[in-house]
Amino acid sequence: MSNLSARKAALSTLEGFEPTPTSLISYQSNGKVIVFGEQATLARCNDFPSPLKLSLIVMDSTGDSALPGAISLNQRNIDIQGHLGGFVVNLIGPDNSVETLQADMVLDLNPEALISLEIPPPGYLHEILHSENLKQLQEQLLDLIGEFEKPKYFSYDASICAHGVNGKIVCTQCLDACPAGAISSLIETIEVDPYLCQGGGVCATVCPSGAIRYVYPRLADSGNAIRKMLQAFREQGGSQATVVFYAETEFPQNYLQDDDSILPVKVEELASVGADLCLSALVYGASQVVLLGNDEVPETSLSQIEQQLAWLAPLLSAVGMNPRQICLQNNTDEIVQVNVKMQVEPALYTMPDSKRNAIFQALDHLYQHAKNPAEEVALPPGAPFGSALVDEKSCTLCMACVGACPGKALQDGSNRELPELFFIEANCIQCGACTTTCPEAAITISPRMIFDRELRNRSRELNHDVPFACISCGKEFAPSSVIHKMSDKLKDHYMFKTSRALDRLKMCEDCRVADIVQDPEAMNSSFDPLN
């Protein structure tokens, strides 16, 4: 009976935890609806009640529509943009002529949806109209008239975003994962439409740097709520707690009846629960963490959750835990209790609001309490932690990688007189910005985790060079490898056919100009640089 009373205390603690408020997004809808459908279907929409105002677009008409006031599509293409209270529909003809319509809502009565997103925009309804659902459909539209508010679920820090570097797109994980199509590329950064974002949270889960954060609730709020819930559970004599994250309206009661150690935690969307929160729940005292899926979770989101679990599994194994202590299960299945290999002493620290800090903090705690932990472990592709290696023979220390690295994992030396490249593994998000940017293709990255915190945070040298001294004045002006490589590549070029011209590559800028002025052959040359 101890777990039952402990669960009651734990859930009471959880219910009393208030998240930090966020800003609100407002919608204003006045009842103007654009309806797409075949002529016979649209004929049944004549008696929709006021204040609904319908504009009908006939899909199967190639001439004037038989419905009064209806618009014939006439084989034009359809482009639908916007959201509740702000839809814009463009009908684009073969000659690129455009007819633009505006509305508060879009009602799609076609067999196949015009918008195929797993989470369509607010205010877009796709239904197959029949007599049984006509009244219900009218009520749905009427319920969408008025002023509405929802939380702004995300925050975005462009300064640590790995999306684009130097005009090249590097990371697209959030764009690929968003089931609502709310994220778009600005090449160097991304843009999130707050009106299309419906709090799926998978963008924050997959973001390797933490540039996108879920803010309602914030990570710190969620983690601290879990910490206090588990603390209350233990204080009341509870043991072997199983934290179950779910996104349904009601938690399946049969789970609570079958197992008194289950602690259900309701979330807005299941995919908003990432490795940061799952690992933290373990170190705060949970024996197992279950993500409870259902048919309403978008397939894209489920796929991303499975990828997270794929790189979490070797991390857990490396510190002596059962990989199934964090798992995804379907709500139609029985929650399977796993063999707990190691029960750690619960952590007392507060939850950080940084995704990567939360993961490192949890792993450090597990590593410290493990009996025979691995020093490092290889991770599957896509994991946001790892190493970088440099081919010293190819690298010219141009430092393009340093300027491109969003996590500041690659850094030049503090001694500006000595060309050096350093690497801090804890900062590496394995985004590939360095490999994409490197003009010599000298960098390779590999996902892994080093558990020694001091080693992970230490700056280590990847490459160094000695400065090249000008052969005329002795001034050091460039890495030696750059000068040697330039000389080798240009030795057969017609502009450097004389030894004097080739030697100018080994001079500083001032001496090079002075030598050209003093070289009659260079000054009197009549070569055409275009030939």
Do 327 and 442 sit in the same domain of this protein? no
pLDDT > 60? residue 531: no
Q: Over the chain, what is the mean pLDDT? A: 93
The sign of the CA dihedral 117, 118, 119, 124 is positive
The percent of residues in the chain predicted with pLDDT above 70, rounded, is: 97
pLDDT > 60? residue 229: yes
pLDDT > 80? residue 36: yes
Q: What is the pLDDT of residue 529?
A: 41
**Structural domain count of the chain:** 5
Do 309 and 392 sit in the same domain of this protein? no
Do 349 and 244 sit in the same domain of this protein? yes
Beta-bridge partners for 107: 35, 125
Q: What is the pLDDT of residue 473?
A: 94
In a domain, 399, yes or no: yes
Do 55 and 107 sit in the same domain of this protein? yes
pLDDT > 90? residue 284: yes
Do 157 and 143 sit in the same domain of this protein? no
> In this predicted structure, which of 2-16, 181-195, 418-432, 481-495 has the lowest mean pLDDT?
481-495
Q: What is the pLDDT of residue 151?
A: 96
In a domain, 176, yes or no: yes
Q: What is the pLDDT of residue 322?
A: 94
Do 252 and 367 sit in the same domain of this protein? yes
Final residue before a domain boundary, out of 373, 403, 428:
373
Do 236 and 301 sit in the same domain of this protein? yes
Dihedral class, residue 371 (left if φ above 0, else alpha if ψ from -120 to 50, else beta): alpha
Q: What is the pLDDT of residue 417?
A: 64
Q: What pLDDT, in 10s, does the model give residues 421-440?
A: 999 999 999 999 999 999 99
Do 102 and 169 sit in the same domain of this protein? no
Q: What is the pLDDT of residue 372?
A: 92
Q: What is the pLDDT of residue 525?
A: 63
In a domain, 264, yes or no: yes
Give 477's pLDDT tier (boundaries 50, 70, 90).
confident
Beta-bridge partners for 81: 88
In a domain, 528, yes or no: no
In a domain, 454, yes or no: yes
Q: What is the pLDDT of residue 486?
A: 85
Do 141 and 173 sit in the same domain of this protein? no
Q: Could you please report the per-residue DSSP string of 6-43?
A: HHHHHHHHHHTPPPPP--EEEEEE-SEEEEEE-HHHHG
Do 175 and 49 sit in the same domain of this protein? no
Average pLDDT over residues 471-486: 86
* Residue 261 or residue 492, greater confidence: 261
Q: From 243, 226, 204, 261, select the one nearest 351 (Cα to Cα).
A: 226
Exposed (0-12), middle (13-18) or buried (19+): which is 355, by Cβ within 10 Å?
buried
Residue given tokens 């969307």 in the structure block: 269
| CATH number, residue 205 | 3.30.70.20
The sign of the CA dihedral 300, 306, 310, 311 is positive
Final residue before a domain boundary, out of 117, 149, 181:
149
Q: What pLDDT, in 10s, does the model give residues 244-272?
A: 999 988 999 999 998 999 999 999 999 99
Report d(CA 27, CA 183) in Å as an integer: 19
In a domain, 351, yes or no: yes
Write out the two tokens for 4: 């039952």
Q: What pLDDT, in 10s, does the model give residues 347-401?
A: 999 999 999 999 999 999 999 999 999 999 999 999 999 999 999 989 989 899 9
Q: Which domain holds residue 79?
A: 27-149
Q: From 527, 524, 484, 529, select the one nearest 505 (Cα to Cα).
A: 484
Do 134 and 194 sit in the same domain of this protein? no
Do 231 and 348 sit in the same domain of this protein? yes
Which amino acid is residue 35, in one-letter code? V
> In this predicted structure, which of 110-124, 245-259, 312-326 has the lowest mean pLDDT?
245-259
Give 415's pLDDT tier (boundaries 50, 70, 90).
low
The pTM for the full model equals: 0.88
Dihedral class, residue 322 (left if φ above 0, else alpha if ψ from -120 to 50, else beta): beta
Beta-bridge partners for 151: 24
Q: How far is CA 211 from CA 149, 155, 180, 352, 368, in A?
A: 25, 8, 19, 15, 29
In a domain, 364, yes or no: yes
Q: What pLDDT, in 10s, does the model give residues 123-137?
A: 999 999 988 899 999
Final residue before a domain boundary, out of 339, 373, 407:
373
In a domain, 379, yes or no: no
